[in-house]
Structure 1
């Protein structure tokens, strides 16, 4: 039997490092998950173990080549953002892989914004809320002023996906999905690097830009597989939807954060939107994606625990809670706590202010929790809907399996079709799809995502 053509995708999260092999129909034919022990930088702050990550790439490739049933055609990478690997002329890392949660020196932050304008204007130009080290451009600024000798030795600052690509291709390049993710490096109005990058001497340390769907030859003699240049994970997760659907849509990607992504909204960010955690990404074809974030997954977990303890229930029961429209109607007649986003409080839980003694049952309390979350979600998603006609809202991740959430979301957006989207490993599939033309002889698939329609009033219908 002839070996199966496959692409290998390394999907690197903060916690789990995953390897997938996909066949030409984008079905998973092999997978492996690993976790690495963190190390520490020179200040004692926890950070990714770059050596373990690098070695795992080569170990994984050796393992793939042992499987004679697979014919490796390509490799690509997706990782979390806001993480630079600083390499010297020989391509060796000069520093640890600093954690984006590392506290940013306040005096340097003040110096930066005093030099390059007030925070609001700068944030609007770069589509980057003020986030300290989560603005990866400011990590380079910190290195220049705190470790000038190291800064001088930097050949290129590579975002993590591009460093991993370099390990196999030998080419140092920059990708738009990483540059366009709240880095404070990109001026969205000029569609180019912000002028501060050149003024600080950082521009020469940015590797040449290449399209996100580019593929490079492998550096090792005798290797025939192509190497993708790597992608930022949030942008990669959007690709299957962009491939499958032409009509304008919003994707609400749910987990710890609920992130509303609108790749069809090109309007500049306003001061109000930036204040309420809106930002822009660049999608893999280079155009902006307006996004808003809500901490609702975390909020949900905390409040479900509170309900379970108060009513002496096992929290697991809420994973399969059915939607009770009569309870919603009853709760709507009672005095509601309102969200006032103009106060800058959108990320704070409304439900935590409620007295659980006001509810007769845990089912009542649970429905009120979901109503409060949806009230916030409607405001957050509303920011990316403004100024753009969107017909469909897709929800993936944890809340897509929550029928109470989905029904209430459909009520909150009566002018849009609301769907729960089901797809295994959207980030990894998107990473593979980005370089489809480099390895796959079949046409792009259009049946990757299973949709379940919610009208809010009618019974669910399932379609593909």
Structure 2
């Protein structure tokens, strides 16, 4: 029996590190998941264990190469964003992979914006809210100012997907989906690095930019596969939808962050939108994607623990809890009377301040939490939706499997078709699709995405 032609995709999330092998029909023929124990940077802040990640890439490849049933045609990578690996002239990392949640020095931040025209001006040009370490450009700026000796040794600052690609290809490049992801580096109007990047000389330590479908030969001797340059995970997750659907839609990609992406909204970001955490991504073809986001997956994790502890229940119970419309009707009635339905967008949902002892059961408490979360999602998504055009919302990721969340979202968007999008690993498939032409002899399948339509009715006007 001849070996199956496959692409290997490394999908590196903040928590789970996954590897997938897809055949030419984009079916998963091998998968594995791992978690690494975090390490600490020089300030004692938790960060990714870069060495474990590096070894894991090599160990996984060696294992797959031994399997004679597969013929590796290509490899590509997707990872979370806002993370730089600083390498020297020999490709060795010079610093920890700093956590994007690491606190940013207030004085340094204030001095930066004072020098370069103020927060509003820089944010508007770079389509990046002011996010401290979540702006990877600010991480790099901090190293230059606080660690000049380290800065001098840096040959290149590579975003994490491009570092992993470099490990296998041996070539250093930058990719627009990483650069164009709330980094503060890219001037969206001029389609080039922002002036501040050039004035600081950071552009000299950023590798040349190539397109997302570019591939390079592997450095592994005797292996003829092609290596992609890697993608930012949120941009990768959008690719299957861009290929399959051409009428205006938004995608809510759910995970730790719930990110609403509208590739059909090219309006300039307003200061008020930037202040509410809106931003623009660059999708894999280099076009802007207007996006908003909330930290809803993280909040779900925290609040479910709180509910379970209060009601003395197992956390796993909430993964498959059924939607109860009568409970939702009662909650909506109460919220309408208290004028809680038109809530302004906030960093956390209203549930974080609710008294759990006011709920008769954990089922009611969980329904209230998801309703609060869905209201927060509506406020966030509405910022970028352009309601006149958008007629469909696709939800993928963890929340797409939560029937309570999906029913409530359909309830809150009565004029839009709401679908749970089921696809085996959207981010990983998008990462494979980006380099389809270099490894796959077959046309792209048109049934990659399974859709489940949600419609719901209520007597309450929303």
Using structure 1 for the length normalisation, give the TM-score.
Answer: 0.92
For residues 291-318 of structure 1, what are the alpha-carbon distances to aligned partners after superposition, in whole Å with 9 as ceiling and x for unaligned? 1112333333444445455556555444
Unaligned residue ranges in structure 1 (runs of 5+): 459-464
Name the CA distance, whole Å, in 1 between partners of 2:327 and 2:87.
59
State the Cα distance separating 1:445 from its structure 2 match: 1.4
- Distance in 1 between residues matched to 2:451 and 2:389, nearest whole Å: 21
Structure 1 residues 66 and 187: CA distance shift in structure 2, 3 A: same
The alignment status of 1:436 with 2:436, answered yes or no, reads yes
Q: 2: distance between equivalents of 1:40 and 1:357?
A: 38
Q: Which residue of 2 aligns with 1:279?
A: 279
Change (3 A) 1:232 1:407: same
Q: Which residue of 1 aligns with 2:172?
A: 172
Whether contact under 8 Å (1:339, 1:346) holds in the other structure is no
Q: Does 1:233 align with 2:233?
A: yes
More divergent stretch after superposition (171-180 vs 316-325): 316-325
Deviation for aligned residue 1:223: 2.3
The equivalent residue for 1:461 is none
Give, in whole Å, the separation in 1 of the partners of 2:70 and 2:292. Answer: 40
Q: Distance in 2 between matches of 1:410 and 1:266?
A: 25
- Whole-angstrom CA distance in 1 between matches of 2:437 and 2:388: 31
- Structure 2 unaligned spans of 5+: none
Runs of 4+ residues over 6 Å off in structure 1: none
Range 333-342 or range 128-137, more displaced: 333-342
| Conserved? CA contact 1:7–1:439, under 8 Å | yes
TM-score by length of 2: 0.92
Instruction: Please give the alpha-carbon distance, in whole angstroms, between the structure 2 residues aligned to 1:19 and 1:301.
Output: 24
After superposition, the Cα gap between the structure-2 partners of 1:412 and 1:289, relative to the gap in structure 1 and judged at 3 Å, is: same
Greater Cα shift, 370-379 or 434-443: 370-379
Alignment partner, residue 462 of structure 1: none
Q: Cα–Cα, structure 1 residues 18 and 318, in superposed 2: closer, same or farther, change >3 Å?
A: closer
Alignment-derived partner of residue 338 in structure 2 = 336
Matched residue, 2:204: 204
Deviation (angstroms), 1:365:
3.7
Q: Could you tell me how far apart the structure 2 residues matched to 1:78 and 1:317 are? A: 31
Change (3 A) 1:29 1:267: same
The residue that corresponds to 1:395 in the other structure is 395
Q: Is the 8 A contact 2:20 2:32 kept in 1?
A: yes
> What are the superposed Cα offsets for residues 112-155 of structure 1, whole Å, 9 maximum, x if unpaired?
11101211221121111111121111122111111222222222
Equivalent residue for 1:146?
Answer: 146
Q: Is the 8 A contact 1:250 1:392 kept in 2?
A: yes
How much does 1:388 deviate? 6.0
Determine helix, strand or coil for the equivalent of 2:198: helix
Once superposed, what is the RMSD of the aligned Cα atoms?
A: 2.2
Residues 303 and 352 of structure 1 are in contact (CA less than 8 Å); yes or no, is this contact kept in structure 2?
yes
Aligned-pair CA distance for 1:52: 2.5
Query: How many Å apart are 1:3 and its aligned residue?
Result: 0.4
Cα pair 2:343 2:375 within 8 Å, conserved:
no
